């Protein structure tokens, strides 16, 4: 009798503990869900997206409106989520600090996935792939026709500060001098002025600029020399948002929507007349 009573008592205590435990777990999931960026965006009615001006990913057209591949992606994402879109143009060097300090919800800015960045932010699955390409000055880099030609001590290479092209330039041309600027325009200006040998940037900018300034610039090597996955970046510890964004990307990929938009912005120049 005595032992049976003790047995019941233990069962009772265990049951109580289990109930408390599940209640707590339930609270934690609710909390996680309510704190997720997606829930907050839906509650607020707007999705704030951070990006940086980057032809043809995102740019101002001549009426001051934002256009570009990323802009299409952001607009479609907001439309599918049923919220308004809020564009937050941000300078590239401060874009991750701005995300971490909650200036916007997600970076959709042609950001390549790197491990260093991944330690600061979480990435979705890639929605795009980009690669590094190199465009060189005809006067400075005369006769250069392989990547090895640029890996010399007296060669100067420009790239955008904090970008994966800058990292790639360091890795591929360790002997060359690397000069960094905040904007791609400034890099391009250095190249056009004949002060540097080459400019490393994400495709298709090098190819486009070699066509535009055919008298001064050329492509020493065809195509890209790296392949990099590009993904949305969100703050860490937010599985709900990652899940929603990942599945959105999977859908758009399967529907061919991403490929179609990418073709329009990267392989045609139909949009060029909207700029100037």
Partner 1 sequence: MNNHPRARTSHTLDVLLLFLLAMAAGLFFWRLQTRFDYDWNWTAVPQFLFRLDPEHGWTANVLVHGLLTTLRLSIWTTVLALGIGVAAGLAASSRSLFRRLIARTYVEAVRNLPPLVLVFIFYFFIYSVLAPLIGLDDAIRAMPAWLGNILAVVCDEPNRLPGFISGVITLSIYEGAYIAEIVRGGVESVDKGQWEAAASLGLPRSDQLRLVVLPQALKVIIPPLTGQFISTIKDSAIVSVISIPELTFQGLELMSATYLTFEVWITITLMYLVLTMGCAMLARKLERSLRWRF
Site string for partner 1, 23-62 (x = CB under 8 A): ---------------------x-x-x----xxx---xxxx
Q: Among residues 46 and 75, whose Cβ is nearest to partner 1? A: 46
Nearest alpha carbon to residue 229 among 123, 104, 100: 123
The beta strand positions in the chain, using DSSP E, are: 46-51, 59-60, 66-67, 84-89, 106-107, 122-123, 128-130, 132-137, 156-160, 177-181, 198-202, 217-218, 228-230, 233-234
Rule CB under 8 A: choose which of 47, 49, 90, 176 binds partner 1.
90
Judged by CB under 8 A, the number of residues near partner 1 is 36
Rule CB under 8 A: choose which of 15, 21, 97, 239 binds partner 1.
97
For residues 12 and 17, give the distance between their C-alpha atoms in angstroms, rounded to a whole number: 9
Please tell me whether residue 268 binds partner 1 under the rule CB under 8 A: no
Please tell me whether residue 85 binds partner 1 under the rule CB under 8 A: no
**Three-class DSSP labels, 137-186:** ECCCCCCCCCHHHHCCCCCEEEEECCCHHHHHHHHHCCCCEEEEECCHHH
Please tell me whether residue 122 binds partner 1 under the rule CB under 8 A: no
46-51 and 84-89: which strand pairing? parallel
Cis peptide before 204 (omega within 30 of 0): yes
Please tell me whether residue 236 binds partner 1 under the rule CB under 8 A: no
C-alpha pair distances (Å), 116 with each of 112, 119, 164: 11, 5, 11
Q: Among residues 170 and 183, whose Cβ is nearest to partner 1? A: 183
For residues 51 and 88, give the distance between their C-alpha atoms in angstroms, rounded to a whole number: 6
Q: Among residues 176 and 201, whose Cβ is nearest to partner 1? A: 201
Q: Among residues 102 and 145, whose Cβ is nearest to partner 1? A: 102
CB of 65 to partner 1, least distance (A): 10
Segment near partner 1 (CB under 8 A); pick from 74-82, 94-102, 170-178, 237-245: 94-102
Rule CB under 8 A: choose which of 22, 91, 129, 247 binds partner 1.
91
Please tell me whether residue 101 binds partner 1 under the rule CB under 8 A: yes
Q: Can you count the helices (H) and strands (E) in the chain?
A: 10, 14
CB of 101 to partner 1, least distance (A): 4
Secondary structure letter of residue 218 according to DSSP = E
Rule CB under 8 A: choose which of 2, 4, 5, 63 binds partner 1.
63
Q: Is 90 helix (H, G, I), strand (E, B) or coil?
A: coil
Rule CB under 8 A: choose which of 70, 184, 228, 238 binds partner 1.
184
Rule CB under 8 A: choose which of 102, 239, 250, 268 binds partner 1.
102
Do 224 and 133 form a contact (C-beta atoms < 8 A)? Answer: yes
Subset of 189-228 contacting partner 1 (CB under 8 A): 189, 192-194, 209
Would you tell me which residues interact with partner 1 (CB under 8 A)?
A: 44, 46, 48, 53-55, 59-64, 86, 88-91, 93-94, 97-98, 101-103, 183-186, 188-189, 192-194, 209, 275-276
């Amino acid at each position: 009798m005595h032992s049976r009573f003790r047995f019941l008592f233990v069962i009772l205590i265990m049951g109580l503990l289990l109930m408390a435990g599940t209640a707590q777990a339930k609270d934690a999931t609710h909390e996680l869900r309510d704190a997720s960026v997606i829930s907050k965006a839906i509650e607020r009615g707007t999705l704030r997206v951070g990006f940086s001006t980057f032809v043809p990913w995102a740019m101002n057209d001549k009426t001051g409106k934002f256009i570009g591949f990323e802009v299409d992606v952001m607009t479609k994402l907001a439309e599918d989520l049923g919220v308004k879109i809020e564009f937050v143009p941000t300078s590239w060097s401060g874009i991750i600090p701005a995300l971490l300090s909650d200036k916007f919800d997600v970076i959709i800015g042609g950001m390549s996935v790197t491990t260093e960045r991944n330690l600061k932010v979480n990435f979705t699955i890639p929605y795009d792939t980009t690669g590094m390409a190199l465009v060189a000055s005809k006067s400075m880099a005369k006769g250069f026709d392989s990547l090895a030609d640029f890996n010399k001590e007296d060669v100067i290479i420009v790239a955008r500060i904090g970008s994966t092209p800058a990292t790639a330039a360091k890795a591929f041309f360790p002997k060359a001098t690397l000069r960094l600027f905040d904007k791609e325009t400034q890099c391009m200006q250095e190249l056009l002025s004949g002060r540097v040998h080459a400019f490393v940037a994400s495709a298709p900018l090098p190819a486009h600029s070699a066509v535009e300034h055919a008298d001064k610039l050329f492509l020493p090597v065809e195509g890209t020399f790296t392949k990099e996955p590009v993904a949305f970046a969100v703050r860490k510890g937010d599985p709900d948002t990652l899940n929603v964004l990942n599945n959105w990307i999977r859908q758009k990929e399967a529907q061919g929507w991403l490929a179609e938009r990418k073709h329009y912005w990267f392989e045609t120049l139909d949009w060029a007349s909207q700029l100037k």
